[in-house]
Amino acid sequence: MVLKDPYNRTVTNLRISLTQRCNLRCIYCHAEGEVNPKEEMSVEDIAELMRVGVQFGIRSIKFTGGEPLLRRDLVDIIRSVPPGVESSLTTNGILLAGMAAELKEAGLARVNVSLDTLRPDRYRQITGRDCLADVLEGIDAAIEVGLTPVKLNMVLLDGINEDELDDFMAFVRSKRDVILQVIELMEFNECKFHGDVDGVEQDLNDRAKRVVTRRMHHRKKYCLDGAEVEVVRPLHNTEFCAYCNRLRVTSDGKLKPCLLRSDNLIDIRGKHGKELEDAFREAVGRRKPFFV
């Protein structure tokens, strides 16, 4: 049974936050809107949630955090993804080099790597740690084992990394199966480094040899001499919001109908069977475009 929300939007993508623990302290982190998370969900609870999601039409699952690779049972979680469902993961990449092969063997399809700068001093400024070399090693490992395409998530930060766009495109061209995603800073954590996304997108549009509008996300992909760049605008892409197909799950076991809201969550801790199915239906029924 495929579920649709009151705005006739079909839910096909499940985003599961596995933990709010992280080994970085990024200046803009919004923790996917989680407030004071409690105990993390178990492998068994995550597996049952995914099974319920699949029976309601979920076709792809993305694991997020915090930093998912800090979960010691991550490989078991990946292995519990139902057959025929594509699974991907967002990571800061610090631990990726040592885990890429095992994650691929467990069934993970691809990874997104959060990387806002290619300069060590700026990396330290943004994240609080000197780990850029580890991240770059993790990207290479992901490419090598086939966790591709690797998508680099670059949050545009005013006065910090806006001048690195060409450097990132050169980096993407130097690798195979790598796509750059330039991401608009969200309105969380009182971070004031909002970059000029409009200016970046106009520049990309002027320089691109080909522009493709992605059907699922309703955002543009710019093709520039071997580099693919997407601009992700959670705050100013009302079309993306109108066609959103995602349902989120917090690390402590709550269904979250919208990333930008935290007042309509449904607690699924301790729920199983029909009770969990009903909670899933209720969460989809509470979905509403943020920009209406």
Question: In terms of residues, how long is the chain?
Answer: 292
**How confident is the model over 258-270, as a mean pLDDT?**
92
Q: Structure pTM?
A: 0.93
Q: What is the pLDDT of residue 194?
A: 81
Quick check: 33 pLDDT over 70?
no
Rg for the chain, CA atoms, rounded = 18
CB contact burial 99-132 (16+ within 10 A = b; e otherwise)? bbeebbebebbbbbbbbbbbeeebbeebbeeebb
Q: What is the pLDDT of residue 193?
A: 78
Q: What is the pLDDT of residue 34?
A: 65
Quick check: 236 pLDDT over 60?
no
**Rounded Cα–Cα distance for residues 146 and 140 (Å):** 10
Q: What is the pLDDT of residue 38?
A: 67
3-state SS string for the chain: CCCECCCCCECCEEEEECCCCCCCCCCCCCHHHCCCCCCCCCHHHHHHHHHHHHHCCCCEEEEECCCHHHCCCHHHHHHCCCCCCEEEEEECCCCHHHHHHHHHHHCCCEEEEECCCCCHHHHHHHHCCCCHHHHHHHHHHHHHHCCCCEEEEEECECCCCHHHHHHHHHHHHCCCCEEEEEECCCCCCCCCCECCHHHHHHHHHHHCCEEEECCCCCCEEEEECCEEEEEECCCCCHHHHHCCCEEEECCCCEEECCCCCCCCCEECCCCCHHHHHHHHHHHHHCCCCCCC
Quick check: 29 pLDDT over 60?
yes
- Residues paired with residue 227 on neighbouring β-strands, in sequence order: 224
Helix axes 132-145, 96-106, angle to 10 degrees: 30
**Predicted confidence band at 233 (pLDDT cuts at 50, 70, 90)?**
confident
- Per-domain residue ranges for the chain? 13-285
**Rounded Cα–Cα distance for residues 221 and 228 (Å):** 7
**Rounded Cα–Cα distance for residues 280 and 284 (Å):** 6
CB 103 within 8 A of CB 79: no
Quick check: 277 pLDDT over 90?
yes
- Strand-by-strand arrangement of the 178-183 sheet: 210-213, 220-224, 227-232, 178-183, 150-155, 110-114, 86-91, 60-64, 13-17, 246-249, 254-256, 266-267
The one-letter code for the residue type at 53 is: G
The one-letter code for the residue type at 21 is: R
Q: What is the pLDDT of residue 290?
A: 78
Mean pLDDT taken over the chain: 92
**Rounded Cα–Cα distance for residues 30 and 14 (Å):** 19
Lowest mean pLDDT among 81-95, 116-130, 192-206: 192-206
The one-letter code for the residue type at 111 is: V
CB 283 within 8 A of CB 253: no
Quick check: 218 pLDDT over 70?
no
The one-letter code for the residue type at 259 is: L
- CATH no. of 13-285: 3.20.20.70
Quick check: 35 pLDDT over 70?
no
Q: What is the pLDDT of residue 260?
A: 82
Q: What is the pLDDT of residue 172?
A: 97
